[in-house]
Structure 1
Amino acid sequence: MENQRELQVQQRKGRRVMLFPLPLQGHLSPMLQLANILYNKGLSITIIHTNLNSPNPSNYPHFDLISFPDGFSEVEASTADGVAFVTRLNAVADSLKLPRIVLRTSNISSFLVFAAIPGLLREKDPQSEAPVPEFPPLRVKDLPPQSVAQYPDKFYQLFTLLASQTRASSGLIWNSCQELEQDAITALQQEFRIPIFTIGPFHKYFPAYSSSLLSQDQRCISWLDKQAPKSVIYVSFGSIVAINETEFLEIAWGLANSGVPFLWVVRPGSVHGAEWLEALPKGFLEMLDGRGHIVKWAPQQEVLAHPATGGFWTHNGWNSTLESICEGVPMICHPTFGDQPVIARNVSHIWRVGLHLEMRLEREEIARAIRRIILEAEGLEMRERIKCLKEQVDISLNGGSAYKSLESLITYIKSF
């Protein structure tokens, strides 16, 4: 064992990778996971990061962390100003004049859609049910036209930059695998003639690892321990999505009316005009008599892996979707922006392991969807399908396609 450590130290000398993540939760988590994967393969790691959402150095003693003053705010990073934000970060990366391998933190299907956006937005009605022939089973409403309509020049610039900078890179890493996106990988290889490495899901390399920027409430696990197997619907819309008070109340009454136990993540400030739960009807939780549990943030991987969790109502960020697949938990899809509608469509119509709410936050619609997932035969069939998908992903990581792709990536990096 000691000899193996010494060998890794020797291999690490002169083999350094610099990683530069976008400083938002959905981007930081996979980048830090990738850093750990590469480190365990014998590479030295330097993380260049902004002051916004900077990683805690005590959590990463084996990495070199270098910060630079950025002057960014989270508002700037997550709105239309994000176009300028990304452009500024790219300029910093290019100034290093090193071979650049790109990590895309969404899924491959979404990337292909985004790269083709300027030629796809032919419909004026953003809610059109018309199919997108180039990307079945997508509809026009699954594309991101709202933002484009509001800031067309900026977003066309971003989409163009997305494709051109990827083509100009030395390679492309995906937090995905062939078992999930074989058709999309084939299309990607035809359009982007650079080395492609599908080595995900990243979080499965380190099941106990968490890179959450928010403090996790572990007490919800004790609550789950008291619930029956596959009986709980877990509800979380990620680290950015915000809703108004009307939507919040429809969700609350939908959960209550479903008759199903629920664990609900409500981030402080995620309801417009409220600090936390002020908008809940008086006596709401008491009325449920222990059937509902609300937290500010949850240890999501633990929750999804818990025997009591039977379904996940999600915004369909790619990290959350992967975590649900990897634990065999069917989904209720409530996408709101960006790549989420495309991912949700994959969940509901390609893998067929979830229900799509179609943006209808109405209490009876919500209650019905929860009962379908948790209590009815339809949900049981989805659970069987996602269990098969989970098994395929496990095989991919253990000697299969993802394992082989990672070995190829390490060889490729060491060739520079």
Structure 2
Amino acid sequence: METERSESAAHVLLLPFPAQGHITPMLSFAQLLGHAGIHVTFLNTEHNHRLLTQRHALSARFPTLHFESLPDGLPPDCPRSIPPIIDMVSSLRSVTKPLLRDLLITLTKKDEESYGSTSTRRPPLSCFIMDEIMCFAIDVAEKVGVPAMAFTIISGCGYWSYSCIPNLIQQGHVPFTDEDMDKQTSDIPGMEGLLRRRDLPGFCRFSIDHPVTKIFMEVIKAITRASALIINTFDGLEASILSHIATLFPQVYAIGPVHALVKSRVGDGLSSSASLRQEDRRCMAWLDSKQVGSVIYVSFGSLVELTHDQLFEFWHGLVSCGKQFLWVVRSDMISGEQGEHVIPTELKMGTKERGLIVEWAPQEEVLAHKAVGGFLTQCGWNSILEGIWAGVPMLCWPRLAEQLVTSRWIGEVWRIGIDMKDTCERSMVEKMIRRLMEEGDEREQILRSVERFSELARGAVTEGGSSYNNLDKLIQDLRNF
């Protein structure tokens, strides 16, 4: 499909938080804007800029898409794959923020530079769209005089719960004063009688003076200064929650699933361009040899760490359940372990008959494979949307932030999976996998639900669908800037 052309001189700067799960949807969004003929400057940290090896392929396909980078300020030996969020945010604010201001000033001026073999010139910057965690950049945008929008990569239910935390703190419900994690939380509008303490975002378990709590409180407060919120979800999935979020912003654009909207409007796109890790494609041939619906795919995303004990509990559960499994075990996933010691010999031997372990997998393709019948996930929102799109039932083991809210929604509201939060014991892992994978009334109900939402997602991203139309409106609004 040829790139849509426009007489507009719109130029947008996109700034993702420097982590895999944030870069992936933002880069899909960049392709959508580039396809519409909008000039896009995609700003990465220098480290991630080097890792995105296919960015030049994207620039060739979308002549109005350009890439820039700034240092993140972290020491060279700091592990970028799983940096402490406190260190990353602090460094971005102290080192990157002043450089960002200089870049914005430069981009607001007329650009006379040509790029590659094209004569494409970027017009002056007209809008700045930042990841919600990068909300410190709103200060910069306001001082330079550039309109700012926010882009959130989390679920609507997760975002709305974030927004209500300051009220919970004010009312004395957060942080918790006792250990009763099953106590109901009834003070979040639209979620009455649904959430327990254990389902609230992870930092609710910390004191209000904890550095992580302070970071999230600053994000929640600052982000409402944005002129609009762009959210990677769709009306058919979260309409009631989106109506609550709409009270916080002049405009909310629900354009998800973004990865699917790219397929609908651009074609196959270049989704792998967003991967900071090398994908092991052996797993696709391995899946080809398996029966339909026989494999459970296990991935805890790009940030979650496991202890050695947790690794063994999952290993025993996976082997004991008797199912075929494909497991993503990153080299940096085990706390305190390095190199070859990350995947124990016993684990390799135990999976020889029925399993395959890879460092990283092409997840969209894996979930779409006919052999995959279940997905054990940490509930990162990109993974959940990809699972819904593929119609795959999910077993949820959330670990970070809003993932705890999302997993509750998966089990109790959407009923597209089973919530296993706060549990990591081999017999329970085995039991839960059997519940998810074996034929019975529960699996049938989950399958019906996830297939229904999969159809709604497809309707949302096709011409005339809610996300398709919301993107059109967003594109027109960006041109009007």
TM superposition score normalised by structure 2: 0.80
Q: 2:461 — aligned with what?
A: 397
- Contact conserved, 1:175 with 1:201, CA < 8 A, in 2? yes
Q: 1:130 — aligned with what?
A: 183
Q: Which amino acid aligns with 2:308?
A: E
Distance 1:77 1:189 in 2: 33
Distance 1:161 1:20 in 2: 18
Shift of 1:284: 4.7
Q: 2:251 — aligned with what?
A: 195
- Contact conserved, 1:15 with 1:43, CA < 8 A, in 2? yes
Q: 1:106 — aligned with what?
A: 154
Count of aligned pairs: 410
Shift of 1:281: 6.1
Q: 1:162 — aligned with what?
A: 219
Structure 1: runs of 5+ lacking an equivalent: none
Shift of 1:339: 1.0
Shift of 1:282: 4.5
> SS of 2:296's equivalent?
strand
Are residues 394 and 349 of structure 1, via their aligned partners in 2, closer, same or farther at CA, if it must alter by over 3 Å?
A: same
Matched, 1:221 2:284: yes
Distance 1:368 1:309 in 2: 18
Distance 2:228 2:475 in 1: 12
C-alpha deviations, 1:149-181, integer Å up to 9, x for none? 257253454334323332211211010011111
- Contact conserved, 1:143 with 1:342, CA < 8 A, in 2? yes
Q: 2:368 — aligned with what?
A: 305
- Contact conserved, 1:310 with 1:330, CA < 8 A, in 2? yes
- Contact conserved, 2:314 with 2:426, CA < 8 A, in 1? yes
Q: Which amino acid aligns with 2:162?
A: F
Distance 2:82 2:452 in 1: 41
Shift of 1:130: 1.0
Q: 1:182 — aligned with what?
A: 239
Q: Which amino acid aligns with 1:403?
A: Y
Are residues 126 and 301 of structure 1, via their aligned partners in 2, closer, same or farther at CA, if it must alter by over 3 Å?
A: farther
C-alpha deviations, 1:300-352, integer Å up to 9, x for none? 00000000000000000110111001100010000012111011111111101
**1:6-405 matched pairs, under 5 angstroms:** 8=5, 11=7, 14-54=9-49, 55-56=52-53, 57-61=55-59, 62=62, 63-72=65-74, 73=78, 74=80, 77-85=83-91, 87=93, 88=97, 89-92=134-137, 93-94=140-141, 96-121=144-169, 122=173, 123-125=176-178, 128-133=181-186, 134=188, 135-136=191-192, 137-144=194-201, 146=203, 149=206, 152=209, 154-190=211-247, 192-207=248-263, 208=268, 209-210=271-272, 211-275=274-338, 278=341, 282=345, 284-377=347-440, 378-398=442-462, 399-405=464-470
Distance 2:231 2:416 in 1: 22
- Contact conserved, 1:142 with 1:341, CA < 8 A, in 2? yes
- Higher mean C-alpha displacement, 280-289 vs 353-362: 280-289
Distance 1:342 1:108 in 2: 10
- Contact conserved, 1:174 with 1:200, CA < 8 A, in 2? yes
Q: Which amino acid aligns with 2:215?
A: L
- Contact conserved, 2:226 with 2:249, CA < 8 A, in 1? no
- Higher mean C-alpha displacement, 147-156 vs 109-118: 147-156
Are residues 107 and 332 of structure 1, via their aligned partners in 2, closer, same or farther at CA, if it must alter by over 3 Å?
A: same
Are residues 96 and 52 of structure 1, via their aligned partners in 2, closer, same or farther at CA, if it must alter by over 3 Å?
A: farther
Q: Which amino acid aligns with 1:105?
A: I
Q: Which amino acid aligns with 1:11?
A: E
- Contact conserved, 1:252 with 1:280, CA < 8 A, in 2? no
- Contact conserved, 2:81 with 2:302, CA < 8 A, in 1? no
Distance 1:125 1:323 in 2: 37
> SS of 1:243's equivalent?
coil
> SS of 2:185's equivalent?
coil
> SS of 1:48's equivalent?
strand
Q: Which amino acid aligns with 1:172?
A: L
Distance 1:283 1:107 in 2: 37
Q: Which amino acid aligns with 2:469?
A: K
> SS of 1:46's equivalent?
strand
Q: Which amino acid aligns with 1:58?
A: H
Are residues 168 and 251 of structure 1, via their aligned partners in 2, closer, same or farther at CA, if it must alter by over 3 Å?
A: same
TM superposition score normalised by structure 1: 0.91
C-alpha deviations, 1:18-58, integer Å up to 9, x for none? 11111111111111111001111121111122223224442
> How large is the Cα RMSD of the aligned pairs?
2.3
Distance 1:187 1:28 in 2: 26
Distance 1:253 1:30 in 2: 34
> SS of 2:229's equivalent?
strand
Q: What percentage of residue pairs aligned between the two structures are identical?
A: 31
Distance 1:28 1:315 in 2: 18
Distance 2:35 2:89 in 1: 34
Q: Which amino acid aligns with 1:393?
A: A
